[in-house]
């Protein structure tokens, strides 16, 4: 894990975010949600500041961050790819689609390509089960994706 230096104004912004939730330990998830919105991900340094402000241990913050798949400790790529692994998508072959993305991008789930262009993650149901299997890239939604489509989709970016 590389050391990240957070600019001083961002640190202040993060502290203000915690204050907006009254530094209430019960609001930790909301604070982390906001912090991820601010930085795009939750590096160790951000978690340390949040722990300090909210008066909880860093271990506890890390525990929450690693429990919820929404939170990420790695920066997302410019084009974040999410493959739906919900029941409908799964039974219609989402895993094969995921394998194809992994093969093309040479990254594992939760990782970002070295050039920072793509990141790969899984999610559970986007509410478009009729289009299963579903892949989202940024704000765009791709439906009825087959492994053969993957290459073409990536070439759009």
Partner 1 sequence: MNLVKLTIDNKPVVVEKGTTLLEAAKSIGVNIPSLCYMKMDDMNFENKPGGCRVCVVEVEGRRNLAPACKTECMEGMEVHTHSVRVINARRTVVELILSDHPPECLTCAKSGECELQDLAQNLGIREIHYTGEQSTYKGDQSPAIIREMDKCIMCRRCETACNEVQTVGVLSAVNRGFESVVAPAFEMDLDHSVCTYCGQCVAVCPTGALTERDYTWKVIEALVDPAKTVVVQTAPAVRAALGEAFGMEAGNLVTGKMVAALRKLGFDYVFDTDFAADLTIMEEGTELLDRLNRHLNGDQDVKLPILTSCCPGWVKFFEHHFPEMKDVPSTAKSPQQMFGSIAKSYFAKKLDKKREDLVVVSVMPCLAKKYECTREEFSVNGDADVNVSISTRELAQLIRNANIDFTSLTDENFDNPLGESTGASVIFGTTGGVIEAAVRTAYEVHTGKTLEKVDFEELRGMEGSRKATVDFDGLKLNIGIAHGLGNARKLLEDVKSGKSEFHAIEIMACPGGCIGGGGQPYHHGDVDILKKRQRAIYEEDAGKPIRKSHENPFIQELYAEFLGKPLSDLSHELLHTHYFDRKKKAEVK
Task: Please give the residue ranges that form the binding site for partner 1 (CB under 8 A).
Answer: 1, 3, 44-45, 47-48, 56-63, 66-67, 69
Q: Least distance to partner 1 from the beta carbon of 70, Å?
A: 12
> Would you say 13 or 48 has its CB closer to partner 1?
48
Q: Does an H or E element contain 55, and which?
A: none
122 is in an annotated binding site: no
Residues 6+ apart with CB under 8 A from 14: 6, 35, 38, 46, 49, 50, 53
125 labelled as ligand-binding?
Answer: yes
Which contiguous run of DSSP H or E holds residue 123? Answer: strand 118-123
Query: Is 84 labelled a binding residue?
Result: yes
The rounded distance, in Å, linking the Cα atoms of 107 and 120 is 7
- Binding residues, as ranges, are 84, 89, 125, 129
- Binding residues for [2Fe-2S] cluster, as ranges, are 84, 89, 125, 129
């Amino acid at each position: 894990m590389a050391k990240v230096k957070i600019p001083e104004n961002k640190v202040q912004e993060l502290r203000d975010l915690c204050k907006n939730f009254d530094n209430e330990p019960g609001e930790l998830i909301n604070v982390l949600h906001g912090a991820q919105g601010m930085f795009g991900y939750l590096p160790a340094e951000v978690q340390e500041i949040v722990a300090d402000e909210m008066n909880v241990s860093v271990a506890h913050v890390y525990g929450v961050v690693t429990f919820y798949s929404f939170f990420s400790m790695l920066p997302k790529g410019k084009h974040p790819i999410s493959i739906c692994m919900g029941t409908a998508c799964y039974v219609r072959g989402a895993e094969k689609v995921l394998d194809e993305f992994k093969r093309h991008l040479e990254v594992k789930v939760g990782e970002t390509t070295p050039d920072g262009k793509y990141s790969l993650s899984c999610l559970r149901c986007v509410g478009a089960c009729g289009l299963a299997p579903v892949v989202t890239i940024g704000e765009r939604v791709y439906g009825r994706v087959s492994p053969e489509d993957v290459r073409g989709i990536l070439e759009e970016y």
